[in-house]
Amino acid sequence: MELSLLFKIANNVALAGWVLLIVAPNWKHTRLVTTGFLGTLLFGSIYTILLIFSFGKTQGNFGSLEGVTLLFQNQTVLVAGWIHYLAFDLFVGTWESANAEKLGISRWLVIPCQIATFMFGPFGLLSYLLLRAILRKPILIDQPFE
C-alpha cells in the first residue's frame, strides 16, 4: 500500500474515533472502537508492520535531535511515528471521556479539552487535568487513572 494512502486512511480512521468520542461518548461501542479495534489492534498492527519494514533500513537514533531528524527522513518511519501519535492521542481522549464520566464532569466542559487533545496531545491532557483541578475533582497519586 502506498504510504500516502496509508497516512490518509489512518487520519480518517482516527478522526472517526474522535467524532465518536465527542458525539457519542456513552455509546456502547465507542470505547471498543477507540481503544479496542482502532487504538490497539488496527493502529498497533500497522505501526508494528511499518517498524518491521523499516528496521535497519534507515539511519538515525533517538539519542540526539540530529539522530531523530535522520530517522524521520524515512517516510515509512515518519508514517509510523504519525500513527504512534494518532493512537496515543486517541487513547488519552478515551481516558478523558471515561474519567470525566466517572467523576461527573459535564461533557460540555470536556469537549474543548478533547479537541485540544486531538489537535495538540499533551496540551489537551494538561487542559483536562486543569479542568479537574478547577472543579476540585481528585487526582489520586496512587490511582492517577481513577
Per-residue pLDDT of the chain (146 residues; tens, 9 = 90+): 799 999 999 999 999 999 999 998 888 888 788 877 777 788 999 999 999 988 888 888 889 999 999 989 999 999 999 999 999 999 999 999 988 988 899 999 999 999 999 999 999 999 999 999 899 876 655 555 55
- pLDDT in the model for residue 139: 62
Which residue in this structure is represented by grid cell 523499516? 54
Amino acid code (one letter) for 49: I
- pLDDT in the model for residue 2: 93
- pLDDT in the model for residue 1: 73
- pLDDT in the model for residue 36: 74
Within a domain: 144: no
Within a domain: 140: no
Within a domain: 139: no
Within a domain: 66: yes
Number of domains in the chain: 1
Within a domain: 64: yes
Given a contact cutoff of 8 angstroms between Cβ atoms, the answer to whether 17 and 33 are in contact is yes
Which residue in this structure is represented by grid cell 481503544? 35
Domain that holds residue 40: 3-134
Within a domain: 111: yes
Within a domain: 142: no
The structure's pTM equals 0.85
Residue 81, classed as helix, strand or coil, is helix
Count the neighbouring beta carbons within 10 Å of the beta carbon of residue 19: 12
- pLDDT in the model for residue 31: 79
- pLDDT in the model for residue 117: 97
- 106 burial class (0-12, 13-18, 19+ CB within 10 angstroms)? exposed
Within a domain: 67: yes
